Amino acid sequence: MEICSMPVHILSDKIKNRELSSVEITRAVIDRIKKIDPKIQSYITVVEDEALKKSREIQNDIDAGKFLSPIGGIPVAVKDNICTRGIPTTCASKMLSNFIPPYDATVIKKLKEQKAIIAGKLNMDEFAMGGSTENSFFKKTKNPWNTSCVPGGSSGGAAASVAAGLIPFALGSDTGGSIRQPASFCGVVGLKPTYGAVSRYGLVAFASSLDQIGPLTKNVTDCAVVMNAIAGYDKMDSTSANIEYPDYTGFLTNNIKGMKIGVPKEYMTKGINEDVRKALENAAGVLESLGAECEEMSLQYTEYSIPAYYLISSAEASSNLARYDGVKYGYRASRYTDLIDLYRKTRSEGFGEEVKRRIMLGTYALSSGYYDAYYKKALQVRTIIMDDFNRAFDNYDAVIGPTAPTTAYKIGEKIDNPIEMYLGDIFTASVNIAGLPAVSVPCGFDGENMPIGMQIIAKPFDEGTLIKIGYAFEQNTDFANKYPELD
């Protein structure tokens, strides 16, 4: 197995056994980025010199017998809305194209403390608004399985880089499916943790009550390893949960006998691709063959998740993005007559079309006379959706369904039809609305050999159940061992 095809836990073992050095792994990753990424366009920034320098420092520590964490000496890339000290953090926007943070996000501090090596920053939809990574100011990322298709979004660069062997693991952010949907489209594992389980300090805000940082990895074992590294309480994040977090690798048991799993009938409707439906039915059959009980049930308010999500997220985006005014940092219009003209021209020139669309929608929903009719109503629907899930988890250990209603579509196919693209979040947005954990694991391929993902949802702070079910499924199928041919 080539270095760039190896998952994190294998690389970690080889470093500890002196079969590979951190320098060899980092050099292999950098070389592959140079060779393959021009086809994929997943990176905005690559920090080659710094990564190689850090790998030499870490290898010296390893040779001296110092403690090495399970991710020590292994390169990682992060979505470009996670602040990295001294490395540009652009949010794939003209507005922040010159922004270099003076501090690290908490997740970056944790990675560095455990001696992971930051290799670069990954492309995304501008300010995480989009489902295809076509809304980036810099470039359009391509799906490694078919470069004429989108990788999903907004963490499309993260999913594509892991799938293409351009990085062993990546961090993305998920506001309404932005880790799980690209994970499904690219055939990798993507976990959206419980809201509050991973610090958001240093994550550039899109919708603060929905955003969550999480890992994208080659398999479920790596997902557990990375969650151990990034989960935990952070006093710098007021929404961080001060609870005891488990060792997630302890759930890698390959035993799901007696577990009860719900399959919402609303997730298997006419609107989903037939290949996706069959893959999910087959996946449920695999879980049943392993001793779990899969039963049809109902999440009756699923259809309201999209309107509620887009009202809440757009309202919060309108508020959060008000700070980009050309005064403090970021892009500033070169010509203006007064302060109001500075604001107008800076925001008109600095933001892309999708960001402007959502700011306008959110501002409208929050405006006098419309707040009660739209935003307040969306918050009430949010409570109903949360109650719907709570009732489900009274009877089931987990809920499964498709991650997305389709597989990856062609680049440009939906970019002029935002409503159709928004509907792609139908199975993922409700998870963010309810603050739940969910993971997408590969579960099949369609007739065009494009990956299909199964979403597993659990109750709050029960990531262990996701890992347990996902690992058992993965160990008894071969989907996680398939890679796109790019060389």
pLDDT tens across 80-90, in order? 999 999 999 99
Region for 254 from its dihedrals, namely left if φ exceeds 0, alpha if ψ lies in -120 to 50, beta otherwise: left
Asked whether residue 486 is domain-assigned, the answer is no
Does the reported pTM lie above 0.95? yes
Model confidence at 269: pLDDT above 90: no
Q: Are strands 169-174 and 75-79 parallel, antiparallel or unpaired?
A: parallel
Mind spelling out the 3-state secondary structure of 87-132?
ECCCCCCHHHCCCCCCCCCHHHHHHHHCCCEEEEEECCCHHHCCCC
Quote the mean pLDDT of the chain.
Answer: 97
Q: State the average pLDDT over residues 327-339.
A: 94
Asked whether residue 447 is domain-assigned, the answer is yes
Asked whether residue 119 is domain-assigned, the answer is yes
The reported pLDDT for the residue numbered 132 is: 98
Asked whether residue 390 is domain-assigned, the answer is no
Q: Tell me the residue range of the domain where 223 lies.
A: 3-257+437-481
Please tell me the distance from the alpha carbon of residue 400 to that of residue 469, in angstroms, as a whole number: 10
Structure tokens at 15: 């470093």
pLDDT tens-digit readout, 385-403: 999 999 999 999 999 999 9
Asked whether residue 123 is domain-assigned, the answer is yes
Residue 236: CB atoms within 10 A of its CB come to 13
The reported pLDDT for the residue numbered 350 is: 98
Number of structural domains, the chain?
1
Cβ pair 106, 212 in contact under 8 A: no
Asked whether residue 410 is domain-assigned, the answer is no
- pLDDT confidence tier of residue 418, bands split at 50, 70 and 90: confident
pLDDT tens-digit readout, 97-110: 999 999 999 999 99
- Known catalytic residues? 79, 154, 178
Estimate to the nearest angstrom the gap between the alpha carbon of 216 and the chain centroid.
Answer: 6
124: CATH:
3.90.1300.10
Cβ pair 217, 208 in contact under 8 A: no
Asked whether residue 405 is domain-assigned, the answer is no
Asked whether residue 338 is domain-assigned, the answer is no
The reported pLDDT for the residue numbered 1 is: 59
